[in-house]
Structure 1
Amino acid sequence: MIRSIQTLLVPIPTIREHKLACTVMREQLMVLVHIQTNDGYEGWGEATTIGGLSYAEESPHSIKTNIDTYFTPLLIKERPTSTAQAMHLLNKNINGNRFAKCAIETALLDIEGKRLGVPISELLGGRVRDQLEVAWTLASGNTDTDIIEAKQVIEAKRHRIFKLKIGSRSIAKDVEHVIAIKQALPDCRITVDLNQAWTELDAMKGIKLLQDGGVDLIEQPISMRNPAGLKRLKQHFDVAIMADEIVQDPQNAFYLAANHCADVFAVKINQAGGLKNACLIGQMAHLAGIELYGGTMLEGPIGTAASAHVFSTYPSINFDTELFGPLLLTDDILTKPLDYNNFGLTVPTGPGLGIEVNADKVYDYAERNLSRASANKNNLKINMNA
């Protein structure tokens, strides 16, 4: 049974600015959940978002507050004895909060796997692959810088698939940027991600130019509130159209699959509301003939390992993954980093998540974040009283 649940905000700077249509990231504030049981096991989960509330309806601070205020008292009081019971309890009593639920489920599956001596992938139906190819996102915003960065990671055999974040500039400038990179990397697959930045009319113009320029995949070009528009784009263009932000829980994914709104689904464990939900979305997509792409919320190594376990179980994942989150951070919170080699990520094979978290480092970062928050609060009081 659960003895304690700690929710920690862990800030780690990124190696460079990461520019999206909706925000610019210079730091990733990870939300980590540390669960300990009465029989001596511990598990870790992660509920990281992209850019706080600029991307999704949950932010690191709201996730921590809701877990501490609602999730933890409920789980401690009701004392569920399995992951399934715990998630049923949470889903029955707490609406939404998909990111927070994902972190709890991940930590509980980590414990369950350790107790049984098997990787999480085996609890999810069993893996069919041990290696996942990983795309790298070029998001400096500067064409020459992005080309140099891409050639460096190709030379190091780290990545040969690239995603470009666009949508914050004019269509002409964005297309010029993308085509220049595609021409510099003719043998590499290129995806562009709009993060919903274009209107449907903009998308009709922009996608035509990108398709003619040899781009391989267009990710969420228009608002997630316009599934019919996404379907129209899918029917109009030959280049594959991928749904991302619009793919949320299994019920939502079922509607999208039944209506053939996209060629590809980007699946993210946090966005799906947990690992088992992400598996269910993958199964529905497979049955509907929709291709799969292993997405990321730019999680650190805990969420990345959890995602890898899920994606290793997919019957097919023809558009590969973008599980590069830990490589974007300036520090690692594992005692042994995840194994990135030969353009991909090796799925951990140990019990549970198959990783060992450096708890001392995690709690040190969390303490630093508390000190920073306290200092900011004091400065605000001083400014208000001035």
Structure 2
Amino acid sequence: MKISRIQLFPIATPRETGIANQHVIVRLEAGDSHVGWGEMSDLSHVPMYQFDIPELERMLNELLRGRDARNIAQIEDDLIRFFPDEGHMYSRSGLVRQGIDLALHDLNARALGVPVYQLLGGKLRDRMRVCYPIFRMRSVEEVEPNLQRVEEKLTQGFDLIRVYVGANLEADELFLKKFTERFHGRVEIKSLDFSNLLDWRRVAMALERFDDLCDYMLVESGAPRNDIEGLAQLRRRSRRPLSEHVLHIHHGWQLLSAGAVDILNVSPYLLGGLRASLRLIALAEAARASVLIGTTQELSLGTAAVAHLAAAARVLDYPGDNTGPQLYTADVVKAPVQYVNSHLLVPEGPGLGVEVDEDRLQAMTAGAQWTFGTDLAGVLDRTPKERPSARRGDSLQG
């Protein structure tokens, strides 16, 4: 089953919070009539450079056309050589590998008439608990709208949230205090996510204040990126387990061997797809560490892939973050992935289990554009430019 063509479709999808994010949808053709779909998820991050889509498409066709689509291992090996790990949070190389990896798994599973999780070894679970994100607040005026959002999502069945903190501790404290008063016993907090904004000492001091205000499962990204010693210092002092995003397999080994984390945050968009993610999960199992599946907030294609990864993962101790299809107001599939009571259901159809609407895809590609401008706080916080703190002139220092 030889690969005959790869097409890339850049799109922009609005969020219910008022911003739009860019993605690249991958269409891979092989054999007589086989098609697989993948996704390079959420490119709207710092660093603010974008793909040269025609050139990337030309390069991928030159590299992969004529190759056996069933030999995913060989293709992955070559992609790692041409698109190596970049060692930072929003690696464009990882996204390229993710897009091809998902398309190959979708194509091969569809050719066999089975769900992708069968290619990963089978299914251990049919759903994964997930949380809804409450984005970072830079002013106290943003507290009440976020509490209202929690109430809205609870009526839709989401009783688990993740709270981004660290930019404005006064706003964080007010939100957590009012959250406990309003939602205690009805909604849980999966994590307080510092997003590598603060050094470990400031995180430790903040947690002392937060611990009196609310209950939560874990702490995420509690030191600047690549400060493994800082994470280890925080872990020795924290009353809750620590999680960090894994950038590549050696980074995972560094985090574990340094005693810096309890939980590996494993994300296909960072690592380059499903096969790479399974290797990190095996690493965690060998170290008797825990695993959660992270996100950059994928569309339904990428989220379906995460669901299949969760189905096959031997270690999956904590809820995931994969609620992108609940955030976006438009998608490229005919029917999105399904959520029930804060759980992402594993699709049971062939391939990834979601069907791309090609007419909608073409229309979204024609209308794709960048929406963040040069508002750095908006890019970092995933919030729109009309937020209250932006009207006052916000600071990146918190």
User: Could you tell me the TM-score, scaled by structure 2's length?
Assistant: 0.84
What is the deviation of 1:15? 0.7
Contact 1:304–1:323 under 8 Å retained in 2: yes
Cα separation, 1, equivalents of 2:272 and 2:221:
19
The one-letter code of the counterpart of 2:99 is A
Per the TM alignment, residue 336 of structure 1 is displaced from its structure 2 partner at its CA by 1.7
Q: Would you say 1:47 and 2:47 are equivalent positions?
A: no
Q: SS where residue 367 of structure 2 aligns?
A: helix
Q: Alpha-carbon deviations, 1:144-192, whole Å to 9, x = none? A: 22222212222332x11111122222x3432332333233222232121
Q: Of 104, 128, 131, which residue of structure 2 is paired with 1:132?
A: 128
Q: CA deviation at 1:53?
A: 2.2
1:320/1:66 CA distance change after superposition, 3 Å: farther
Matched, 1:280 2:279: yes
Which secondary structure state, in structure 2, belongs to the residue aligned with residue 212 of structure 1? coil
What SS class does the counterpart of residue 253 from structure 2 fall into? helix
Cα 1:323–1:359 shift into 2, 3 Å: same
Does the CA-based 8 Å contact 2:241-2:262 persist in structure 1?
A: yes
Equivalent residues of 1:285, 1:292 under 8 A apart: yes
Matched position secondary structure for 1:46: strand
Counterpart-to-counterpart distance in 2, 1:180 and 1:339: 30
State whether structure 2 residue 320 is matched by structure 1 residue 321.
Answer: yes
Q: Is the 8 A contact 1:32 1:45 kept in 2?
A: yes
Corresponding residue number in structure 1 for 2:3? 2
- Cα 1:195/1:74, change in 2 over 3 Å: same
| Other-structure match for 2:99 | 103
> Quick one: which amino acid aligns to residue 163 of structure 1?
R
Gaps of 5+ in 1: 18-25, 377-386
Rounded to whole Å, the distance in 2 between the matches of 1:163 and 1:348 is 24
Q: Distance in 1 between matches of 2:40 and 2:237?
A: 36
Unaligned runs of 5+ in 2: 86-92, 374-398
Of 43, 50, 72, 1:83 maps to 72
1:175-214 map, 5 Å:
175-187=173-185, 188-190=187-189, 191-213=191-213, 214=215
Secondary structure at the counterpart of residue 238 of structure 1? coil
Aligned residue in 2 for 1:383: none
CA distance in 1, matches of 2:94, 2:146: 33
Give the partner amino acid of 1:368: G
What are the within-5 Å matches in structure 2 for residues 89-168 of structure 1? 89-96=78-85, 97-139=93-135, 141=137, 142-157=142-157, 159-168=158-167
Residue number in structure 2 paired with 1:70: 59
Q: 1:284, 1:79 → 2: CA distance?
A: 29
1:237-285: CA deviations, max 9, x gaps? 11121112xx111222122223321111211111111111111111211
Map 1:288-307 to 2 at 5 A: 288-307=287-306
Rounded Cα–Cα distance in structure 1 between residues aligned with 2:69 and 2:38: 17
2:32 is the counterpart of 1:16: no
1:184-242 per-residue CA deviation (whole Å, 9 max, x = no partner) reads 22223212111111122211211222233333321102212101110111111111211
Equivalent-residue separation in structure 2 for 1:225 and 1:324 (angstroms): 27
Supply the distance in 2 between the matched residues of 1:110 and 1:77 (Cα, whole angstroms): 18
1:28 match: 21
- Tell me the distance in 2 between the aligned counterparts of 1:50 and 1:193: 20
CA distance in 2, matches of 1:342, 1:237: 30
Residue matched to 1:362: 361
CA contact (8 A) 1:136 1:324 kept: yes
Deviation readout 1:352-379 (Å, 9 max, x if unpaired): 101111111112111222xx58xx9xxx
1:182–1:215 CA contact under 8 A, matched in 2:
no
Partner of 1:229: 230
Q: 1:243 to 1:125 in 2, by over 3 A?
A: same
Equivalent AA in structure 2 for residue 242 of structure 1? S
Question: Using the alignment, how far apart are the partners of 2:212 and 2:80 within structure 1?
Answer: 46
Letter in 2 for 1:178: L
Amino acid at match of 1:90: L
**Alignment partners' CA distance in 2, 1:329 and 1:151:** 18
Identity of aligned residues (%): 22
Change (3 A) 1:49 1:12: closer
Q: 2:195 is aligned with what amino acid? A: N
> Per-residue deviation at 1:122?
1.4
Shift of 1:77: 5.9
How many Å separate the matches in 2 of 1:219 and 1:183? 24
Whether the 8 Å contact between 2:4 and 2:66 is mirrored in structure 1 is: no
1:69–1:179 CA distance, 2 compared to 1 (3 A): farther
**8 Å Cα contact 1:231-1:262 kept in structure 2:** yes
| Matched length | 356
1:243 counterpart letter in structure 2: E
Structure 1 residues 120, 79: closer, same or farther in 2, change over 3 A?
closer
Q: Report the counterpart of residue 377 of structure 2 in structure 1.
A: none
